[in-house]
């Protein structure tokens, strides 16, 4: 099973962007523990160092649905801003949402068309007599890259595959984000104040809020059972 999810600060300030980076680390650690493979397919850096406005992940695994039950929705971090020390606000929200109803691009290297040519210098002049430069094109999207980093045609071909895949996936993610932006904002507005998880402190200690109230129900059942025993 595969799912594409995004951890996003929405339109939040640097504090929310910092929370995205912190939550991502915890999220990936738990994914590993649950034997869920992941791939970061797009990330948008935040306004400050070591922060993220958003990160998009491709998840693969059998227990994805169960794993995401305790993650999808709004996430709250309770703490003082490290960017604005005099700022009074202490509650910072981000969102984790699944990108649904959108077809994932299956990038296949076999579909790439390669064209070799001589490496070019300034002004478009050929700098060698051997065709070591490579132009790689992906017909399904029409995107292409030109690589002449190495004197080896094979090395340039390998680099062109990597760069072309990144370019194709980046376009796809941009399309996803454009279509889902309104949905993210709505989610953030609706679910703000009702987080599925809460973190606190600079060490980002996890305080998971259980919505099922299983512990409370179990405790009440035991109390009721003891009460009945006392009556008998």
Average pLDDT over residues 84-88: 82
Range in 4-8, 85-89, 110-114, 123-127 the model is least confident about: 123-127
Instruction: Reply yes or no on whether the pLDDT at 145 is more than 90.
Output: yes
Question: Domains in the chain and their CATH numbers?
Answer: 2-104+178-219 (3.30.70.1660), 109-173 (3.30.160.20)
Backbone angles phi, psi at 96, to 5 degrees: -125, 120
The reported pLDDT for the residue numbered 190 is 44
Strand partners, 207: 198
> What pLDDT does 230 receive?
54
List, in order, residues 6 or more apart from 11 with CB less than 8 Å away.
185
Tokens of 110: 């076999």
CB 75 within 8 A of CB 195: yes
DSSP character at residue 122: G
- The tokens for 210 are 């259980």
Pairing between strand 113-117 and 37-45?
unpaired
Here the tokens at position 137 are 């094109």
Is a pLDDT exceeding 50 seen at residue 87? yes
Over residues 161-218, the pLDDT tens digits come to 999 988 888 777 777 666 666 556 655 554 566 788 889 877 776 665 544 445 555 5
> What pLDDT band is residue 22 in, cutting at 50, 70 and 90?
very high
């Amino acid at each position: 099973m595969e799912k594409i999810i995004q951890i996003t600060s929405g339109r939040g300030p640097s504090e929310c962007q910092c929370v995205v980076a912190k939550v991502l680390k915890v999220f990936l650690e738990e994914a590993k523990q649950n034997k869920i493979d992941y791939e970061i397919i797009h990330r948008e850096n935040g306004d400050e160092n070591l922060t993220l406005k958003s990160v998009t992940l491709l998840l693969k695994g059998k227990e994805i649905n169960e794993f995401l039950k305790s993650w999808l929705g709004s996430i709250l971090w309770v703490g003082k801003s490290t960017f604005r020390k005099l700022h009074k606000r202490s509650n910072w929200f981000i969102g984790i949402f699944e990108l649904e109803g959108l077809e994932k691009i299956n990038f296949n290297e076999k579909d790439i068309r390669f064209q070799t040519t001589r490496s070019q210098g300034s002004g478009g002049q050929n700098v060698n007599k051997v065709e070591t430069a490579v132009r790689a094109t992906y017909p399904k999207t029409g995107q292409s890259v030109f690589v002449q980093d190495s004197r080896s045609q094979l090395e340039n071909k390998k680099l062109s595959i990597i760069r072309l895949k990144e370019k194709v996936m980046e376009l796809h993610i941009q399309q996803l984000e454009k279509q889902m932006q309104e949905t993210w904002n709505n989610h953030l507005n609706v679910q703000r104040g009702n987080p599925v998880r809460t973190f606190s402190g600079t060490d980002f200690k996890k305080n998971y809020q259980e919505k099922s109230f299983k512990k409370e129900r179990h405790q009440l059942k035991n109390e009721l059972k003891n009460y009945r025993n006392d009556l008998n």
